[in-house]
Amino acid sequence: MDKLCSLREAITEEIEDGMAVAMGCTLESLIPFAAGYEIIRQKKRDLTLIAPISDIQFDQLIGAGCVRRVIASWVGNVAAGLGHNFRRAAEEGVPYPLEIEEHSNFTVALGLKAAAMGVSFLPTKTVRGSDFSRAEHFRSVTCPFGGEELLAVRSIVPDVAILHVQKSDCEGNAHVWGNLGVAHEAAFAAKKVILSSEEIVTHEHILSDPNRTIIPGFLVCRVIHEPLGSHPSPAQGYARRDDDFYFDYHDLSRSRKGTLSWLEKWVFSVKDHAGYLALLGEERLKGLKPQGDLFSPRVSFNF
Amino acid sequence: MTVGLTRSEHGSYDLDELMIIEAARHIRNGDVVMVGTGLPMVATTLAMKTHAPELVAVIESGPIDPIIMQTPISVSDPRAMHEAARLGSLREVLGCVLQRGLVDIGFIGGAQIDQFGNINSTVIGDYRSPKVRLPGSGGANDIACHARRLLIIVSHEKRRFPLKCDYVTSPGYLNGPGARQRAGLKVLTPTITVVTNLVVMETDAETGLFCVTKLMPGVDLDAVYGNTGFRPGVASTLEEVAPPSDRDLETLREEVDPDGVYVKRGKSH
């Protein structure tokens, strides 16, 4: 089934106010920024955002007033430090108060993995002893075999996972390479998956290299062809990290007023991601393109 | 504290540079190193390019044993994944490598570190009404829970070294000897080493408290006491941090951080 559509259509039809949305699941690369901007543009509200670290994406969505709760281990600006909008929401309730489910990176992965395997929790030895180990999404459990004390991590079930990938066919069978973060866990944990993809390739192309298929299409409800849809985060083979973009955001977002002008310029004043890329300009985009190729060898799947 | 320029037989360097070089020396050739963003990545890259070419870097987003190209700003960047032995997942490296016990040394930065080596990167002030909301654990908690040797690199400021952290994000010795066992952690007596631009401190496995083991050149104990919110012990073998070799400085300046992203230039050359 062909699931190709525009980003606007996907966000309009699949994201409802109040939903739990996993996005940015490969840590600081392949973050679905284009999808985040569209969520902001459509003024979605009361979302729960899920991911270990999504660089400035969560800060942007919080500043735009889309978020009620985050399930995350780190919210800030990886290059520059603190997330000003995250701070304002947590410290002053601006623009809205924020609930924070505190995690470590590993416990986000375990919570998603539990959901992905259809169990209510997974045990670990991490986080024990820390101040957030007493939070309600963790429990101490005793190993039924040896008596060891473990930490149970409650499953995390996203209503939707939005993932940016390098290649997808029109059914959502997707090739992802580079570091994988928790993308696989998030795709299997979520009730539905939306993909934005650098390239749309043929079904045969994907099937010729199935070990690289991280997300099988039957999990996916929407596929969007969105080149540079992860800008300013890197997409291995397609785009480098736009470091300056993060520093500029950091400077402007220091004040509420600056945040609003940033959102006006980069999100509200353009109608879609093509408009955003035009605003970045050809010269800048050219500088982000990897020079030349580093191909992996082909392998034979013959039998 | 502002730290001036130090001259040695190798010319001038500043203590921010020596801090990175000294931290790198704590990585042994062949170590499996779980490395975090920022200065830990810089120092690990330096170690890889000098005395520890066989170190195995493991990065929380999934890369195992990559060549770290010119130091990237974030760990989840293709520049930190070049020719990796494997590009896996977060759950794989934090579960199957770190929690499994295969990491020799964990290497992170820190916001607040207290006398027992506990780290706070969550909140300054009261958790419910924070004065400053910090980003949170990231992978730091996982690394502090499971690394047998934990290396922390941080610029020395009094507010970074309180007697007791406002919030324990990542466990050191918690509230003292035996506390890690009572909390149910796997690694009971980690060696926690802090390298700053003033000092090297290491936890004592019996008391869980920090002891000064080395001072930076030109720095005395009073400078350390004056910039630290607790009074660390002093090792009987107190030494001065060795000055950088030409190779260390050249590698750091020309290969690891040529654009001065991490070490601000202009003072020394």
Least confident of A25-34, A49-58, B5-14, B141-150: B5-14
Q: What is the ipTM of this complex?
A: 0.96
Mean pLDDT (whole number) for A237-249:
96
pLDDT tens per residue across span A265-293:
999 999 999 999 999 999 999 999 999 99
Does the pLDDT at position B10 exceed 90? Answer: no
Q: Which of B242, B231, B234, B247 is nearest to B47 (CA)?
A: B247
For residue A218, what pLDDT is reported?
Answer: 98
Per CB-CB distance under 8 Å, the chain B contacts of A93 are none
- Split at pLDDT 50, 70, 90, the class of A36 is very high
Mean pLDDT (whole number) for B91-105:
98
Mean pLDDT (whole number) for B225-239:
97
Q: Of all residues in chain B, what percent carry a pLDDT higher than 70?
A: 93
- Split at pLDDT 50, 70, 90, the class of B172 is very high
Does the pLDDT at position B81 exceed 90? Answer: no
For residue B6, what pLDDT is reported?
Answer: 58
DSSP labels, chain B: ----EEEETTEEEEHHHHHHHHHHHTSPTT-EEEE-SSHHHHHHHHHHHTT-TT-EEEETTSEES-B--S--SSSSSGGG-BT-SEE--HHIIIIIIIITT--SEEEE--SEE-TT--EE-SEEE-SSSEEEE----TTHHHHHHH-SEEEEE----GGGS-SS-SS-SB-SSTTSTTHHHHHT-S-SS-EEEEE-SSEEEEE-TTT--EEEEEE-TT--HHHHHHT-SS--EEEEEEEEPPPPPHHHHHIIIIIISTT-SSS--SS--
> What is B12-256's CATH topology?
Glutaconate Coenzyme A-transferase (3.40.1080)
Of A53, A81, A234, the CB nearest to B77: A234
- Split at pLDDT 50, 70, 90, the class of B9 is very low
Strand pairing of A99-102 and A67-72? parallel
For residue B2, what pLDDT is reported?
Answer: 43
If one compares B8 and A272, the residue with the highest pLDDT of the two is A272
Residues 28-87 of A with CB under 8 A from B: 28-29, 52-53, 55, 72-76, 78-79, 81-83, 86-87
In order of their start, the domains of chain A are: 7-103+157-288 (3.40.1080.10), 121-154 (no CATH)
If one compares B37 and A285, the residue with the highest pLDDT of the two is A285
- Split at pLDDT 50, 70, 90, the class of B267 is very low
Does the pLDDT at position B268 exceed 50? Answer: no
Would you call A144 an interface residue with chain B, using a CB distance cutoff of 8 Å?
Answer: no
For residue A96, what pLDDT is reported?
Answer: 98
For residue B77, what pLDDT is reported?
Answer: 78
pLDDT tens per residue across span B192-204:
999 999 999 999 9
Would you call B160 an interface residue with chain A, using a CB distance cutoff of 8 Å?
Answer: no
- Split at pLDDT 50, 70, 90, the class of B110 is confident
For residue B69, what pLDDT is reported?
Answer: 78
Q: Which of B121, B123, B113 is nearest to B154 (CA)?
A: B113
Mean pLDDT (whole number) for A55-77:
98
Mutate to test the interface with A, among B68, B73, B91, B175 (most CBs of A within 10 A): B91
Whether B184 sits inside 8 A of A125 (CB atoms) is yes
pLDDT tens per residue across span B127-148:
999 999 999 999 999 999 999 9
- Split at pLDDT 50, 70, 90, the class of A167 is very high
Q: Which residue of chain B comes nearest to A296, CA vs CA? A: B83
Q: Across chain A, what does the average pLDDT equal?
A: 97
Task: Return the number of CB contacts < 8 Å for A and B.
Answer: 190
For chain B, the structural domain boundaries read 12-256
Mean pLDDT (whole number) for A220-224:
98
How many angstroms separate the CA of residue A136 from the nearest CA in chain B? 15
Q: Of all residues in chain B, what percent carry a pLDDT higher than 90?
A: 83
Would you name the residues of B annotated as active-site residues? 60
Per CB-CB distance under 8 Å, the chain B contacts of A109 are 89-91, 94-95
Does the pLDDT at position B163 exceed 60? Answer: yes
Residues 176-205 of B with CB under 8 A from A: 179-180, 183-186
pLDDT tens per residue across span B43-69:
999 999 999 999 999 999 999 999 887
Mean pLDDT (whole number) for A193-202:
98
Whether A105 sits inside 8 A of B59 (CB atoms) is no
- Phi and psi, residue B59, nearest 5°: -120, 135
Find residue B233's DSSP bridge partners: B211
